[in-house]
Amino acid sequence: MTLAAALIESLASSARSVSLADGDVLVEQGDAADTVYYIESGSVAASKRTPQGEVLVGTVEAGQVIGEVTVVAGGLRTATLRAIGPVVVLEFERSDFEAWLNSHPEIADSVSDEARERVDRTNVATMVAELMGSSDRQLVQQVVDRVEWRRLEAGEVLFREGDAADAAYFIVGGRVIVLADDAEGNEQLIAELGRGEVVGELGLLDRAPRSATVRAVRDTTLASFSTSTFEELVATSPAMMLNVTRGILTRVRKPTQRRFDRAASLTIAVTAPGDADAIVAEIVEEIARFGTAKHLSSARVDRVLNRTAISQAATDNVGVPRLAEFMHEADVGNDHVVLQTDREMSAWTRRALRQADRVLVVCSPNPDATERALITELFGTVDDASHVARMLAVLHPSSTDRPRRTGSLIAHWKVDDVVHVRSGSADDVARLARLASGHGYGLVLSGGGARGFAHLGVLRALRERGIPVDEVAGCSMGTVVAAGIALGLDGDELMVRAEQQFHRLLDYTLPIVSLVKGARITRNIDETFGTWDIEDLWLPFYCVSTNLTKSRLEVHRRGSTALAIRASVAIPGVLPPVPYQGDLLVDGGVLNNLPFEVMRDNSTIETIVAVDVAPDQGPRARSDYGMSVSGFQALGASLRRTKSDYPSVTSVLLRSMLTGAVRNQKASMKDGSVDLLLTLHLPGVGLLEFDRSREVAVAGYEASKPTIGHWAASRPELGAH
């Protein structure tokens, strides 16, 4: 017996009859899925909203059931249904349908494939319309009717670099990564693509060998459209070639970024050992601020599907088809899926890890042997080649003054990100949720000498508008402020500490290595950060220095915070270089004075706020002193209070360092990688005027406040913080 026949036989008496006229809407895309429909007479058209307009993706004829899988799996309606002529439908309440379905497991399993294909075809139609840049139903339907379905398990390769380009693939559910070999033959991550994306589309136009390898990050469903089929259709419809060519050219002109596609779902596997279950529910609640979020655990799956231990089913067990379709629908029907694992390596835990884009483990600050063993197994199950991120959240008691020995903790495991959370802190949980779901806010602060005190004013303006800071980074003076923020200091304390660190900065010495010894600033930095490792800071933090030995940017994410700061502020010629693992490090501003690119490549960060305080112009020639300068003449001018006639050696060195970095920075910002760029014009503030700290901070606040306010007003999610 078919689903429709069995449903009508059992529940017709409890159904509500609904009559529709031509064009009437039965359900709207995005509505809550709380009813199931049986088309008694007539037919309805299914359409989806796309950037190209509304696209007709199919019809549902009399005698068919629609909406059943979405109701069970949860999520929102994936399409709009409109009557074609007079239509009569029977409407079943969610509770009645679920109760009936649970009492007929053999029917529930049998409808899975049909339901999946219907939903998947709808999604493919949307992707085809976007690829072609056209809502022409005939063109779209020609492609959809000819696709072939393909399933990839986590880690499985779709195609390899050098393979023949024989098809384009529409990603219906799951996620893939694009990899290519660099000049040394090492495999590099190029892009990450999720639901709603197309991969290999150039193969439709060019049969040249594949230029990259594509591998599934997790279990992935694709629709394959072969080049041979494409050529057949083009022969009968030349317009298709024109539309597809335009669509592909539009896509390839977009800048490539290694950041998660925000239109696609993100699946997070979360393990909360011990008594930390409650934090998972809090994380899901916070993630839901950014779209629909589905929370699934083994117990929840068993309860919804009304099958004892169906979540633990092996692939050859009865009920697996229904479980697989349930998981698939949760993926394609929601923006985020949170899979809470068991506290052991059960079949459900392994399934969750196989489905995950990110693995988040919540642990205690001092895990016992049992907890350590589980975490080791969880992280060890993640294949390095999959590029699935491993995140560790350390849950501290509410009274914890500071994290400790995090470095020794993570030394046991391969961890990509560490987040510290205080029990009972809503702000900490919200930050963890944003980072875990890829919606984090990052703050990047530039170098600029004493002008860097303006960062403190910017921080005040950000906090007044409720703009969170989930990760912070800096260069040179920006590093000092960023580290203070990561330390958890409030605005007033930050000001005091910054003033202390740069008080009486210059301890001059015989200028063989540098103009100053660096003892004072080193001592000042140590007083605040000397006992802190970067891993122990309350906020994720990095800073940059320049490796003189290897001519590269050095990114500091681990180890001594004080050493990282001291290296980042080591102005060449002014402060001594910092020895580091046999190399010499100087100020990061030599290569990158505003290192937002590092944060851009972090999949936990969605929104980047960057603050540039470097002056537009350097010192000017106040007088024509010729091609040579006598130090005695300059000293005399200084004594006569006319020293402005001669630029100081420190200002020349500092500005020379910034010039190239500023030029490179401006060129790289053109790709829109920074969501809010604050370029602060602070007229009259010199690079070395550290005695004007509070004045400069106020200037930074006043200069940034209007822009921040206007930008924050355009971000609806900020209303919740």
Contact between residue 144 and residue 121 where contact means Cβ atoms under 8 Å apart: yes
Sign of dihedral through CA atoms 185, 191, 196, 200?
negative
302 is catalytic: no
State the catalytic residue, choosing from 120, 331, 417, 587: 587
Identify the CA nearest to 7 among candidates 66, 76, 79, 87.
66
Using CA atoms, how far apart are residues 307 and 303, in angstroms rounded to an integer? Answer: 7
Using CA atoms, how far apart are residues 265 and 174, in angstroms rounded to an integer? Answer: 8
Other Cβ atoms closer than 10 A to 495: 20
How far is C-alpha 148 from the chain's CA centre?
31
587 is catalytic: yes
How far is C-alpha 7 from the chain's CA centre?
43
Q: H-helix or E-strand containing 318?
A: none
State the catalytic residue, choosing from 134, 476, 514, 693: 476
Identify the CA nearest to 554 among candidates 527, 589, 526, 522.
589
Using CA atoms, how far apart are residues 148 and 554, in angstroms rounded to an integer? Answer: 47
Q: Is residue 10 helix, strand or coil?
A: helix
How far is C-alpha 714 from the chain's CA centre?
20
Max Cα separation, the chain?
A: 106
CA distances from 57 to 126, 135, 139 (A): 8, 10, 11
Identify the CA nearest to 375 among candidates 384, 366, 202.
366
Joined tokens for residue 633: 């003449």
Using CA atoms, how far apart are residues 128 and 152, in angstroms rounded to an integer? Answer: 21
Identify the CA nearest to 304 among candidates 277, 282, 280, 322.
322
Q: What's 100-163 look like in SS3?
A: HHHCCHHHHHHCHHHHHHHHHHHHHHHHHHHHHCCCCHHHHHHHHCCCEEEEECCCCEEECCCC
Q: Where are the beta strands (DSSP E) in 455-562?
A: 471-475, 541-547, 552-556
Which amino acid appears at position 150 of this protein? R
Residue written as token pair 């609640």: 285
Contact between residue 585 and residue 460 where contact means Cβ atoms under 8 Å apart: no
CA distances from 690 to 481, 505, 508, 517 (A): 14, 9, 16, 18
Using CA atoms, how far apart are residues 719 and 466, in angstroms rounded to an integer? Answer: 8
Report, as residue numbers or ranges, the catalytic residues. 476, 587
